[in-house]
Every structure is written in structure tokens, then in C-alpha cells.
Chains A and B, each alone.
Chain A
């Protein structure tokens, strides 16, 4: 008899897990709440570190979708149950699905920048998030980024909503650093006369070619890095922003006017994950991301047999590691189904 799996979440992790499982001859039901697959990948213009078009990765993932995968778009889960080695999912439209295994790939949400009130997001005109910056890159590639702005200086703020107990997140989102450096370079590419400043606490250029991007930003594009966390931003009459930080490498407070302020918003767990986890009795960590069965050796399975986790439900991760993780999850699911009666 054909074994089956239900995958919740049709982003990068869900799509790749589905593709691999289908390839292994397992029947897959893929549930996605949006009207299209791709998740957060769809909101990127170009990807770090090589600045390739995100659409290329989307096309790759889309290519893995085939007839053995039953897609449920615009689908929301009403009830999730675990009954004698079967998983039963009731969708809000009344549809009922069941399977031998379950994969949770519900991903993350970006931090709500409005919670850092002192940064003025949602209050001042030219304070935007890194997600909105990607949208600007996608839509207005040829346009003057600074149209209607009184200053061509850009401030990029690292760690917005990350490493911040006041924001409720003490963990590092780890990919904002490289996103900031990528966007700094892209702004200089588009507008060579712009001045770009990154305000950081630590630069965590942990992955391959990340440090090289940081080097390129300094050597080729003259991007300046000031070590210090933004303490407050206020708007001037001409709609420029006055920002205050400590320049910790000189030990002096510093104030500066910028035309545009980009907030590098971090990862937060998708609240939907918490609801699903509660229905199953799955464990979440202090950071509210889901816990694997073992931190080193069983990172794709959970404490419940038949329930697997893929991608950013476990914490911040980039595209490459999410795809690799999804494949590992698919293999774990297949192994589980093989020995299951």
C-alpha cells in the first residue's frame, strides 16, 4: 500500500520536502494557507551571497511539484489529530485529510518593527523594514530610490527585534547581518552617490562568502560600519531622520541625519506553529521555536513518532540550509514509513 504524508506549509522547506517524498514514491498532501507556494522566498528580490534572482530558486522548487503531490492552497487547518499512528487534518473548508506521517514546515514571520517604537516604524515616512526594501528593489529597480528625500544617506539598523529582551527575543536571527550588507551593496550599485552606514552590535558573517561580501562592501562600495545599537530615531521637519547611537569603537555618543532608515527585522516563530504544536503536544523551546528530538543527531524528527519538522520552524535559517534540511526531513520520513506497519 502507498504510504502517505501531510506537509503543513508550502514555503521553501515544505516544497522541497514534498518534492523529495513524492520522488520516493510517497503520496503527499501539501497544505498552504496562501494562494501560491513559495512563502517568504516570494518577497525577496535577489539572494545573498551571490545576488542571484530569487525567482530562479522558486523555479527550481516549483519544478519538484508533480502529480503525486496534492496541493491545498488557501487552506487553513481547523483541527489536527493523532490517532493510532494516523494523522487526521480537518481544514476550515470542511475537507478532511489523513496520512501516516506529518511534516510541520510552517516557517517563521518577520519581527513586527512597530514594537520598537523608538525607531519610528509606522510613524515616520522614511523608516522601512528590510522586507520592504526588497520590495522596492523588485518594483523600482530603475527608479531613483531617493525621490522626494532630502538626504541621500541611508542608515541600516542591524538586530531589530533580535538579541533584545525588550522585544521578547534574546536569540540572534543570524541572517539579518548578511541581508544588511547585501542591501547596502545593492543601494550603492543603484545609487553610487548614496552614503550607506550599517549600525551593528556584532557582524555575524558565518557562512561561506558572507565575510567576502562584508569585505566587498567596504573595499569596493565604501559602505561604513559603525558599531553601536540604534537607541532612538526622530523625524526632522524635512522628513529626514535624526538617529542617535553610541559609536562604541570611539566611546562617544553620535548623532547623524539620514534620508532613509532600513530596519533589519529578524525571525520570529509563526504563531500558527504554536497552535498546531499545542494540538499535537509538541515541545517548543524558550525561544518559542519547535524542538527536535535531539539537538545534534535527530534534528528532523520530534518526540512524537511520525511527526517531523523542516526548515525555519526550528529557528532562523537561510535558503540553502532550509533546502538541505528539507531533504534530510524527507529521508527521515521515508525511513519511518518503511518500518511502519
Chain B
């Protein structure tokens, strides 16, 4: 069959009701302080990894709360656990443990 070059775009919308929150619940249980995030982005502003890559811990955290885990594994590998994010967080979120809890959750669910 002749190809006309048409493709189907993937839906970008977050379909909250279709998402699975088991991973989110595990991460939230390991590090409950992440519920305190108010989205200020000071973590990402100071992030060493974020200066050189697209790594954005604030956005990763927000996406996890929405049940979105695409590319999560590759993303968190960019973190060097330097902890600067944690030093600047105005709500005292334990961001290093967030990274570690994401690792744990991904292992637990075999991702």
C-alpha cells in the first residue's frame, strides 16, 4: 500500500482517571514530605544536573503526582545526589530521599 506519510500523534493530555497511582502511593509513603511541594522550582533552579541536561526534579515530582512515569528511569539517572535542591527547598522536602524512593519504586514495580 502506498504510504502518504501520515502518522498518529500520541495524546499529550494527562488522562488522570486512566492512570495508575500505585507507584505514586509507594513513593509518597516512603517520603511523605514531597506532599509539601508548592511548585516554586528553587530545587530545579539550583540543580547542577539541570544546568547541563533537561533534568527537572520539580516537574518529575509533579508528573509522579499525576501518575505519569514516561522516561522516569532515564531522567532520574541524571541526578548526582549532590543535595543542593534540598538545601534550598523552602518547605523542607527531602529531595534526595525522593530520588532514592523513585529508584526503589521503579525496582519494586520492575520498570
Query: Is A58 engaged at the interface, CB distance under 8 Å to the other chain?
Result: no
Output the least CB separation between A138 and chain B (Å): 30
A252 CB, min distance to chain B CBs, angstroms: 5
Q: Decide: A218 near B15, CB < 8 A? Known: A250-B62, A250-B66.
A: no
CB distance from A215 to the nearest CB of B (A): 7
Q: Cβ of A252: which chain B residues have Cβ within 8 Å of it? A: 12-14, 68
Q: 0/1 per residue, A222-241, Cβ < 8 Å to B?
A: 10110100000000000000
* Contact (Cβ within 8 A) B16 A255: yes
**Interface members, chain B 60-95 (any A CB < 8 Å):** 62-63, 65-66, 68, 91
Residue A257 lies at the interface, judged by CB distance under 8 Å to chain B? yes
Contact A249:B36 (CB < 8 A) given known A254-B66, A255-B14, A257-B16: no
Chain A positions within 8 Å of B16 at CB level? 254-257
| Chain A 190-227 near chain B by CB (<8 Å), digits 1 or 0 | 00000000000001000000000011001100101101
Q: How far is the CA of A65 from the CA of B36 in the complex (A)?
A: 45
The answer, yes or no, to whether A247 is at the interface (CB within 8 Å) is: yes
Q: Is A253 in the interface zone, CB < 8 Å from B?
A: yes
Question: Could you say which residues of chain A place their CB within 8 Å of the CB of B91?
Answer: 215
> Measured between alpha carbons, how far is A251 from B12 in the docked complex, in Å?
10
CB < 8 Å neighbour of A247 from B17, B36, B66: B66
- In Å, the complex CA distance between A252 and B70 comes to 13
Q: How far is the CA of A227 from the CA of B40 in the complex (A)?
A: 11
Distance in Å from the Cβ of B52 to the closest Cβ of chain A? 21
> Which residues of A have CB within 8 Å of B62?
247, 249-250
Across the interface, A225 reaches (CB within 8 A) one of B15, B38, B59, B66, namely: B38
| Chain B minimum-CB-distance residue to A221 | B35
Q: Are A247 and B58 in contact (CB under 8 A)?
A: no
Instruction: Point out the residue from A218, A225, A249 that lies within 8 Å of B58, measured CB to CB.
Output: A249
Query: Nearest Cβ distance between residue B61 and chain A, in whole angstroms?
Result: 9
Residue of B nearest to A257 (CB): B17
The count of chain A contact residues (Cβ–Cβ below 8 Å) is 19
**Contact yes or no, B14 A218, CB < 8 A:** no
Check A215 against B39 for contact (C-beta < 8 Å): no
Q: Which residues of B contact A251 (CB under 8 A)?
A: 59
**Chain B 48-60 interface mask (CB, 8 Å, partner A; 1/0):** 0000000000110
B59 touches A250 (CB 8 A): yes
| Residue from A214, A224, A251, A256 whose CB has the most chain B CB atoms within 10 Å | A256
A227 contacts B14, C-beta separation under 8 Å = no
A238 CB, nearest partner CB in chain B, Å: 12
CB distance from A227 to the nearest CB of B (A): 6
Note all chain B residues with C-beta closer than 8 A to A249.
Answer: 39, 58-59, 62
Convert B21-40 into 0s and 1s, putting 1 for each residue whose CB lies closer than 8 angstroms to a CB of A: 00000000000000110110
The residue of chain A having its C-beta at the shortest distance from the C-beta of B61 within the complex is: A249
In the complex, which residue of chain B has the Cβ closest to the Cβ of A244? Answer: B13
Distance between Cα atoms of A252 and B59 in the complex (Å):
11
- Of B16, B39, B58, most A-chain CB atoms within 10 Å: B16
Given A224-B65, A247-B62, A247-B66, A253 and B14 contact (CB-CB distance below 8 Å): yes
CB distance from A210 to the nearest CB of B (A): 13
CA A250 – CA B62 in complex, angstroms? 7
Contact for A218 among B12, B35, B63, B68, CB less than 8 A: B35
Contact of A219 among B14, B35, B39 (CB under 8 A): B35
B17 touches A256 (CB 8 A): yes
* Chain B residues with CB under 8 A of A214: 38
Cα(A253)–Cα(B64), bound, Å: 15
Tell me whether B35 and A255 are in contact (CB under 8 A): no
**B14 contacts A250, C-beta separation under 8 Å:** yes
Given contacts A249-B58, A253-B13, contact A218 B36 (CB under 8 A): yes
Minimum CB distance partner of B32 in chain A: A219
- Are A250 and B68 closer than 8 Å at their CB atoms? yes
- Contact yes or no, B39 A227, CB < 8 A: yes
Known: A247-B62, A250-B62, A250-B66. A222 touches B35 (CB 8 A): yes
Residue of B nearest to A252 (CB): B14
- Roughly how many angstroms separate A257 CA and B35 CA in the complex, as a whole number? 21
A-B contact pairs, 7 of them (CB 8 A): A214-B38, A219-B36, A227-B39, A249-B39, A250-B62, A250-B66, A253-B13
